[in-house]
């Protein structure tokens, strides 16, 4: 595959069994072969998207001292602000050229889960920031639920298999700012090559050049979405659970050409995580003589903990 396939969630949500199956086949084929799709028909509307970009630009334009008030020690960067140069890709010593914010789960009807997660951080200077962030989080979580339902059917599972694992899950909405590049980066990239930790990632802001995906031949291909599309990829947790039937693809955000160094880039991934107790053990129906079990049993919480340490976000 040298191009990211495009699918429309309206097909899956329709009452037409043929259209629904077409979506399952298309997304299943894409995730078995390249691990990425561009998705139309999601639950974000233009007004919400516009409001979100306005709010996150307003936040990242605040003075550094103001932003740093919202950098909370001791939580591995899981909520609030993470300042420039704090995160590096697994196995890479140079930090990524980015700063970011984390919105986390809005727990309903589960005091135990509410106590397990850090609280969301309120930005006092921007009255609409948290409200717009919460609305976006909810719409992306809803979109992700239906994508996972289609993948459950593709894997031969009951359609709502993932629902119980993602309800009040440890998902994260991460607005990222890649600031203008002022000096020659010594081996650093806006986001070095990496695979995502979680089940699936829904990415807003992949309209401009920069995001690249590595296909199975090792070639880097540009992943560019239309304005009404989200880029959605498989993360390591889902790859592991499906015995690598669904591929978690290595991707990166490359630095722009020198004449564009003076420009910022914004992108907003939603990392769909399950609850920490979910067992990521390889599904039995993804194992056969040609595809023996490739991964040890582990829970989502333990796997996340391991990876945050590898990324330098947790000691």
Domain that holds residue 284: 6-310
- Looking at residue 76, its pLDDT comes to 81
Is 224 within a domain? yes
User: Residue 4: how many CB atoms within 10 A of its CB?
Assistant: 24
Model confidence at 263, pLDDT cuts 50, 70, 90, reads confident
135-155 confidence digits (pLDDT tens): 999 999 999 999 999 999 999
Residue 120: its pLDDT value, please? 96
Contacts of 214 (CB under 8 A, 6+ apart): 193, 220, 221, 249, 250, 251
Q: What is the pLDDT of residue 1?
A: 52
Q: What is the pLDDT of residue 12?
A: 98
- Report yes or no on 201 lying in a domain: yes
Residue 256, pLDDT > 90, answer: no
Q: pLDDT band at residue 255, thresholds of 50, 70 and 90?
A: confident
Segment 280-287 mean pLDDT: 95
Q: Is the pLDDT of residue 243 over 90?
A: yes
Counting Cα atoms < 13 Å in the Cβ hemisphere of 282 gives: 16
Tell me the pLDDT of the chain averaged across its residues.
Answer: 91
| 315: in domain | no
pTM above 0.95, yes or no: no
The per-residue pLDDT for 206 is 65
pLDDT band of 74, cuts 50, 70, 90: confident
Whether residue 109 lies inside any domain: the answer is yes
Confidence grade of residue 110 (pLDDT, cut at 50, 70, 90): very high
Position 254 in a domain: yes
Secondary structure class of 41 (helix, strand, coil): coil
Statement: residue 209 has pLDDT above 80 = no
**Above pLDDT 70, what percent of the chain?**
95
Q: Say whether 48 sits in a helix, a strand or coil.
A: helix
61 by Cβ neighbours in 10 Å (0-12 / 13-18 / 19+) ranks as exposed
Which residue from 20, 62, 36, 10 is spatially nearest to 177, judged by alpha carbons? 62
Is 261 inside any structural domain? yes
Instruction: Enumerate the β-bridge partners of residue 176.
Output: 100, 267
pLDDT at 88: 62
Is residue 1 situated within a structural domain? Answer: no
| Residue 54, domain member (yes or no) | yes
User: In total, how many domains does the chain have?
Assistant: 1
Q: What pLDDT, on the 0 to 100 scale, is given for residue 265?
A: 85
- Say which residue the tokens 């976006």 belong to: 136
Write the CATH number for 47: 2.60.120.330
H or E, element range at 19: helix 17-33
Query: Which region among 70-84, 179-193, 239-253, 292-306 has the lowest average model confidence (pLDDT)?
Result: 179-193
């Amino acid at each position: 595959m040298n191009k990211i396939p495009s699918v429309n969630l309206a097909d899956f949500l329709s009452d037409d069994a043929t259209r629904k199956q077409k979506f399952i086949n298309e997304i299943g084929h894409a995730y078995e072969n390249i691990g990425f799709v561009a998705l139309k028909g999601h639950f974000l509307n233009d007004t919400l998207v516009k409001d979100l970009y306005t709010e996150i630009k307003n936040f990242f334009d605040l003075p550094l001292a103001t932003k740093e008030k919202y950098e909370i020690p001791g939580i591995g960067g899981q909520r609030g602000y993470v300042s420039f140069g704090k995160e590096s890709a697994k196995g890479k010593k140079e930090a990524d050229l980015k700063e970011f914010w984390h919105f986390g789960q809005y727990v309903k009807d589960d005091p135990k889960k509410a106590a397990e997660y850090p609280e969301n951080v309120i930005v006092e200077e921007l009255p609409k920031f948290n409200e717009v962030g919460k609305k976006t989080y909810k719409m992306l979580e809803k979109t992700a639920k239906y994508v996972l339902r289609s993948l459950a059917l593709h894997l031969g599972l009951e359609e709502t298999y993932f629902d119980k694992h993602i309800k009040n899950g440890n998902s994260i909405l991460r607005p990222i700012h890649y600031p203008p590049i002022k000096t020659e980066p010594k081996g650093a990239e806006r986001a070095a090559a990496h695979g995502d930790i979680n089940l699936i990632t829904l990415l807003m802001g992949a309209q401009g050049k920069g995001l690249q995906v590595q296909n199975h031949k090792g070639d880097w291909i540009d992943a560019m979405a239309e304005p009404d599309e989200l880029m959605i990829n498989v993360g390591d947790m889902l790859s592991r659970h499906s015995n690598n039937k669904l591929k978690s693809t290595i991707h990166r955000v490359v630095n722009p050409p020198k004449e564009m160094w003076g420009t910022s880039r914004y992108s907003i991934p939603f990392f769909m995580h399950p609850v920490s107790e979910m067992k990521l053990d390889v599904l039995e129906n993804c194992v056969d003589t040609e595809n023996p079990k490739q991964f040890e049993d582990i829970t989502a919480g333990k796997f996340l903990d391991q990876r945050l340490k590898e990324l330098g976000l947790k000691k």
